[in-house]
Chain A
Amino acid sequence: MLMTSTPASPQPSGGGHWEELVTAALLGTARRAPSGVAAGRDAPTALLDAAAVETVRRRAGMRPGRAAARLEPAAEDPRPALPPTAARRLTMLLADRPGTGSGGRRGTAPDLMELLPQWLATANRHGYAAPPQALPALLDAARGRTDLRPAVLAFAGPRALWLARLNADWRFALRSAPGGGAALPGPGEPERIRRLWEEGLFAERVALLSAVRARDAAGARDLLATTWASERAEDRLMFLDSLRTGLCGADEPFLEQALADRSRNVRATAAELLSALPASALAGRMAQRAGSCVAIDHTRNTPAIVVEAPHECDAGMERDGVVPKAPTGRGERSWWLGQLVEAAPLGTWSRRLGGRTPEEIVALPVADDWRDELHAAWCRAAVRQRDPSWSRALLGTPAAPEAGGPGAVSLAERAKLLGTLEATERAGWVAGFIAVHGLSEAFQLLGVCTVPWADPLGRAVVDALNIARDAGSYPWSFSGVMGLAERCLDPAEAVRLEALTAVPDESEDAAPGAGSYWAESFQRLLTTLRLRATMQSEFTAP
Chain B
Amino acid sequence: MTQQGVRQGVRWTADQVLALAPDTASRKAGSKLGVAGPWSEAGSSDEGTVWGLCKGSGSKPYRTVIDTADSTGPAYKCSCPSRKFPCKHALGLLLLWAGEDGAVPRGEAPDWAREWIEGRRKRADDKRAADASGSPPSGDPEAARRRAERRAEWITAGAAELEQRLTDLLRGGLASAEQAGYGLWEETAARMVDAQAPGLAARVRELGAIPSSGPGWPVRLLEECALLHLLDQGWLRRERLPDGLAATVRSRIGLPGAADGPPVRDRWLVLAQYDTADSRLTTRRIWLHGTGSGRTALLLSYGAAGRAPELALPVGLTLDAEVSAYPGAGQLRVALGERFAPAEPTEFRPPGVDVARAVAQYGVALRDDPWLESRPVTLGRVVPVPDGDGWQLADADGELALPLTPSARSRSGLWRLVALSGGAPVTVFGECGHLGFSPLTAWPEGPGEAVTLC
Contacts and interface: CB of A to CB of B under 8 A. Distances in A.
B35 A159 contact: no
A534 interface: yes
B218 A22 contact: yes
Name the prevailing secondary structure of the A interface residues.
helix
A85 interface: yes
B366 A28 contact: no
Contacts of A147: none
Contact of A96 (B31, B175, B422): B31
A7 to B, nearest CB: 13
A84 to B, nearest CB: 8
Interface string B364-395: 10110010000000000001011110101011
B259 to A, nearest CB: 27
A17 interface: no
Given A27-B173, A62-B359, A71 B37 contact: no
Contacts of A65: 392, 400-403
B385 A47 contact: no
A92 B25 CA distance: 13
Interface residues of A, number: 75
Interface stretch (A160-168, A190-198, A258-266, A459-467): A160-168
B419 A66 contact: no
B385 A22 contact: no
A26 B362 CA distance: 29
B418 to A, nearest CB: 7
A49 interface: yes
Nearest to A50: B226
B424 interface: yes
B18 interface: yes
Interface in A40-57: 43-45, 47-49, 51-52, 54-56
B423 A71 contact: yes
B355 interface: yes
Nearest to B173: A28
Interface in B166-223: 166-176, 218-219, 221-223
Interface string A453-489: 0000000000000000000000000000000000000
A245 interface: no
B399 interface: yes
Contacts of A29: 170-171
A69 B387 CA distance: 8
B37 A523 contact: yes
Contact of A101 (B29, B55, B223): B29
Contacts of A51: 222-223, 225-226, 229
Interface stretch (B42-50, B94-102, B114-122, B134-142): B94-102
A420 B286 CA distance: 60
Given A52-B229, A59-B434, A527-B35, A26 B175 contact: yes
A528 B37 CA distance: 8
Contacts of B166: 44, 48
A67 B399 contact: yes
A74 B444 CA distance: 14
A408 B401 CA distance: 74
Interface in B1-60: 13-15, 18, 24-29, 31-38, 55, 57
B416 interface: yes
Interface in A147-203: 159, 162-163, 166-167
A92 B37 contact: no
Nearest to B32: A109
Contact of A133 (B55, B99, B395, B451): B451
26 contacts: A2-B403, A3-B436, A44-B171, A47-B170, A48-B167, A48-B170, A51-B223, A52-B370, A55-B226, A56-B230, A56-B370, A62-B434, A65-B392, A70-B385, A74-B423, A89-B99, A91-B14, A91-B18, A101-B24, A101-B27, A102-B25, A102-B29, A109-B38, A133-B416, A136-B415, A526-B37
Interface of B: 13-15, 18, 24-29, 31-38, 55, 57, 95, 98-101, 163, 166-176, 218-219, 221-223, 225-227, 229-230, 355-356, 359, 362-364, 366-367, 370, 383, 385-388, 390, 392, 394-395, 398-403, 412, 415-416, 418-424, 434-436, 444, 451
Given A59-B366, A65-B400, 12 more contacts: A1-B434, A28-B171, A45-B163, A55-B226, A62-B359, A68-B385, A68-B394, A70-B423, A92-B14, A132-B419, A166-B418, A527-B38
7 closest A-B pairs by beta carbon, nearest first, are A527-B37, A28-B173, A101-B28, A73-B423, A67-B394, A44-B170, A51-B226
